[in-house]
Chains A and B, each alone.
Chain A
């Protein structure tokens, strides 16, 4: 696999996932990007270690899904299997614990743990039926 820095240089301006708006940071829709920002730090295309947290809706069921990149060499060239999705529990305590275990303990982008926890909270509030806007 090509070097992350090199891939980033190829992809940072030229990607079908990039979304641009006036007076707004450049965003990306690629899978595996935690913040959706078009940054080398968060890039789901360029880095070897990828972290994404999204909500997924299948029919009526809403779930929270964590995306990481497989470490196996053999999987790097297999587009269908390279990104590994894990369901995250929706329980108040269990969810963050699970996140801490996967992200922090296994050294899978531990610096993004705090951000992931914040996003987890936001996803949970988005699941609420009576959507009260938090001020």
Chain B
């Protein structure tokens, strides 16, 4: 995070174009962003307000039904006893029977609530607070903050003493929340689903969360403004800071509340004065800006020079591409040209080739005349070898025959 803590302006609630003071940002608001942690903790915390639902314990089993067993040409499922009514003899019990119990009946002793580690809960709240101080996250969550002067929005303590809703609404509008409040009003619609028949008829978006230190009327002034919620600094609820598990709620702090954040959460060194044994979460990476790290002089100065990667172009076949062949085998084009020429009559290349051919033939003839005549012709040598082999075979056969006759005797 930033090494120097940014300074936050405090706005006069009566005249928000005025700034009544400044304050350094509390360290909580610079906690590491952990959407995964917030989601997890929210998921479990949200289960804690559930009310049990279940079917009646006796549901489907409140009959004296007994199986008719075999021998009566009916299925063996338990049947309602007695007579004189349609119900008699009808199947009972079992999820498949009409009027029977359900499969795996829902029970009240289902584990409805979840316990979450205290430190985890605290980390999640710190993280959610930090997210509410970042405009991109608050915008991404869907709040309309374009008219808001600054985030985090800190207002002078006078707002805590407002008693009339009208005044409160005026104050919020002057602070730039008009668009946000309007969004809430416009979003009111009938709930989809059964909830509408169960006293949860309307749904609407959430607006700003006002965090105060002393309630001198502010809760009552704000409570009827659609979308606005109030919370005391000492009792911050993750379910309000990160509704639906998504952090980045639009939060308005009062001056006293903002100051108190530092008193409650302290710093990384000092620990949290008001939360025993608790220290704010530490980021896994002190500086998460990868681009800056990579481009920094510390890193760039120790890098080896960039490797020249051999990029293969499209593979070319040397047998088809004459240029490539020339690259690989210099002189091949020349050779090919000569070859071409040498088959054309009248060119010096042709004559050259013919001359060589003639010389070759002459040589060969000369050689043959000298060496291959008489008994050394091809045919004679062949026959000689053949006859020699034939004679050898015949002799072998005769010898074998002689042996056989001997053995017989």
Q: How many residues of B contact A (CB 8 A)?
A: 33
Whether B289 pairs with A10 at a CB distance below 8 angstroms is no
Q: Given A5-B288, A6-B33, A45-B136: A16 and B142 within 8 A (CB)?
A: yes
25 contacts between A and B (CB under 8 A): A1-B2, A2-B1, A2-B288, A3-B290, A4-B289, A5-B288, A5-B290, A5-B291, A6-B288, A7-B33, A7-B136, A7-B137, A9-B35, A10-B140, A15-B140, A16-B140, A46-B136, A73-B6, A77-B133, A77-B151, A77-B152, A79-B139, A79-B151, A80-B145, A80-B147
Give the residues in chain B near A17, CB-CB below 8 Å.
139-140
Of all A-B residue pairs in the complex, the 8 with the closest CB atoms, nearest first, are A16-B142, A3-B288, A3-B289, A15-B140, A45-B136, A79-B135, A6-B288, A79-B145
Give the residues in chain B near A15, CB-CB below 8 Å.
140
Whether A14 pairs with B140 at a CB distance below 8 angstroms is yes
Q: Does B148 contact A (CB under 8 A)?
A: yes
Whether B1 pairs with A80 at a CB distance below 8 angstroms is no
Residue of A nearest to B131 (CB): A10
Among candidates B134, B141, B291, residue contacting A16 with C-beta atoms closer than 8 Å = B141
What interface size band does chain A fall in? 20 to 34
Whether B33 pairs with A79 at a CB distance below 8 angstroms is no
Q: Does B246 contact A (CB under 8 A)?
A: yes
Among candidates A2, A14, A46, A77, residue contacting B150 with C-beta atoms closer than 8 Å = A77
Whether B134 pairs with A7 at a CB distance below 8 angstroms is yes
Give the residues in chain A near B1, CB-CB below 8 Å.
2
Give the residues in chain B near A97, CB-CB below 8 Å.
none
Q: Does B146 contact A (CB under 8 A)?
A: yes
Whether B291 pairs with A4 at a CB distance below 8 angstroms is yes
Identify whether the interface residues of A are mostly helix, strand, loop, or mixed: loop
Give the residues in chain A near B210, CB-CB below 8 Å.
none
Identify which of residues 49-107 in chain A touch chain B, using a CB-to-CB cut-off of 8 Å: 73, 76-80, 82
Among candidates A3, A45, A73, residue contacting B140 with C-beta atoms closer than 8 Å = A45
Give the residues in chain B near A46, CB-CB below 8 Å.
136
Whether A77 pairs with B33 at a CB distance below 8 angstroms is no
Whether A77 pairs with B289 at a CB distance below 8 angstroms is no
Among candidates B137, B151, B291, residue contacting A10 with C-beta atoms closer than 8 Å = B137
Q: Does A11 contact B (CB under 8 A)?
A: yes
Residue of B nearest to A5 (CB): B290
Binding site for A on B (CB under 8 A): 1-2, 6, 8, 33, 35, 131, 133-142, 145-152, 176, 246, 287-292
Interface centre among A3, A16, A79 (most CB of B within 10 A): A79
Q: Once the chains are docked, how many angstroms separate the CA of A10 from the CA of B148?
A: 22
Residue of B nearest to A9 (CB): B35
Chain A nearest CB, measured from B137 CB (Å):
6
Residue of A nearest to B6 (CB): A77
Q: Given A3-B287, A77-B133, A77-B150: A10 and B33 within 8 A (CB)?
A: yes
Chain B nearest CB, measured from A84 CB (Å):
13
Q: Once the chains are docked, how many angstroms separate the CA of A7 from the CA of B34?
A: 10
Chain B nearest CB, measured from A2 CB (Å):
6
Q: Once the chains are docked, how many angstroms separate the CA of A9 from the CA of B32?
A: 13
Whether B246 pairs with A14 at a CB distance below 8 angstroms is yes
Residue of A nearest to B34 (CB): A10
Whether A30 pairs with B35 at a CB distance below 8 angstroms is no
Chain B nearest CB, measured from A33 CB (Å):
12
Whether A10 pairs with B35 at a CB distance below 8 angstroms is yes
Whether A1 pairs with B134 at a CB distance below 8 angstroms is yes
Q: Beyond A2-B1, A79-B139: 16 further Cβ-contacts under 8 Å?
A: A3-B287, A3-B290, A3-B292, A5-B290, A6-B33, A6-B288, A7-B136, A10-B131, A10-B140, A16-B139, A16-B140, A17-B140, A30-B139, A45-B136, A78-B150, A79-B138
Residue of A nearest to B142 (CB): A16
Q: Once the chains are docked, how many angstroms separate the CA of A80 from the CA of B17?
A: 13
Q: Given A45-B140, A46-B136: A5 and B151 within 8 A (CB)?
A: no
Q: Once the chains are docked, how many angstroms separate the CA of A80 from the CA of B145?
A: 7
Chain B nearest CB, measured from A42 CB (Å):
14
Chain A nearest CB, measured from B247 CB (Å):
8
Whether A80 pairs with B136 at a CB distance below 8 angstroms is no
Q: Given A5-B290, A7-B136, A45-B136: A80 and B149 within 8 A (CB)?
A: yes
Give the residues in chain B near A77, CB-CB below 8 Å.
6, 8, 133, 135, 150-152
Residue of B nearest to A74 (CB): B6
Chain A nearest CB, measured from B106 CB (Å):
32
Residue of B nearest to A17 (CB): B140
Whether B33 pairs with A2 at a CB distance below 8 angstroms is yes
Q: Given A3-B287, A5-B290, A80-B146: A45 and B33 within 8 A (CB)?
A: no
Give the residues in chain A near B140, CB-CB below 8 Å.
10-11, 14-17, 30, 45
Residue of B nearest to A28 (CB): B140
Q: Once the chains are docked, how many angstroms separate the CA of A16 from the CA of B143?
A: 9
Whether B135 pairs with A82 at a CB distance below 8 angstroms is yes
